[in-house]
A = this chain, B = another copy of it.
Amino acid sequence: MKKQIILSLVVFAAVLVGAAVLFGFSNDEVKYPDNYRNWTHVKTLILEKGHPLYDAFGGIHHIYANQKALDGYKNGHKFKDGSVIVFDLLETVVADNAVAEGNRKVVGVMEKNSKKYKDTGGWGFEGFKGDTRERVVKNMDGECFSCHLSQKDKDFVFSDYRK
């Protein structure tokens, strides 16, 4: 009898896992953008002390796009599923009338999946602290999308591809 109960539980668990795989019940975590340093560099911007976003994003940031995102930038800011955009934020090192790149503060990521992230404009948002895989975004909507919402006409993407 005990064996039967255990067997039933095992079968039940297997069915649950199977259903999850079959129907796509996965978590909504945004993947770390492996290899993004080889993607296309979209643009760069430096935010200095006194800028309204300095506390969150002060420093020098580079935007990188994978091929699908690059196509999106060049196709009137219409981004297909699979587009990934990276916001690579580094400290600035100011010395001798030069501004150089310092340590990495955060790797911000936008990943397009119109079904998975339908509540945030089709974009999943995440940040990875420094050079780690430590996730920093607790609430995509409140911490990210609420600001990107202002860019609705540009598919919620602030940056433009600089030629």
Residues of A within 8 A of B (CB): 37-38, 40-41, 43-51, 54, 60, 62, 64, 70, 96-101, 131, 162-163
Contact across chains for B47 and A41 when beta carbons are under 8 A apart: no
Q: A37-B163, A46-B46, A48-B99 are in contact. List 17 more A-B contacts (CB 8 A).
A: A37-B41, A41-B41, A41-B62, A44-B60, A44-B101, A45-B98, A45-B99, A46-B99, A46-B100, A48-B98, A49-B97, A50-B97, A51-B96, A51-B98, A54-B97, A99-B99, A131-B163
Contact across chains for A162 and B101 when beta carbons are under 8 A apart: yes
Give complex CA distance A85, B98 in Å. Answer: 21
Contact across chains for B97 and A48 when beta carbons are under 8 A apart: yes
- Given the known inter-chain contacts A37-B40, A37-B163, A163-B37, please indicate yes or no for A45 contacting B100, CB distance below 8 A: yes
- Which chain B residue has the least Cβ–Cβ distance from A131? B163
With both chains docked as a complex, state the minimum distance between the C-beta of A34 and any C-beta of chain B, in angstroms: 14
Give complex CA distance A64, B44 in Å. Answer: 14
A sample of 28 cross-chain residue pairs with beta-carbon separation below 8 angstroms, ordered by A number, consists of A37-B40, A37-B41, A37-B163, A38-B40, A38-B70, A41-B62, A41-B64, A43-B101, A44-B60, A44-B62, A45-B98, A45-B99, A45-B101, A46-B46, A46-B98, A46-B100, A47-B97, A47-B98, A48-B97, A48-B98, A48-B99, A50-B97, A51-B96, A51-B98, A54-B97, A99-B99, A101-B162, A131-B163
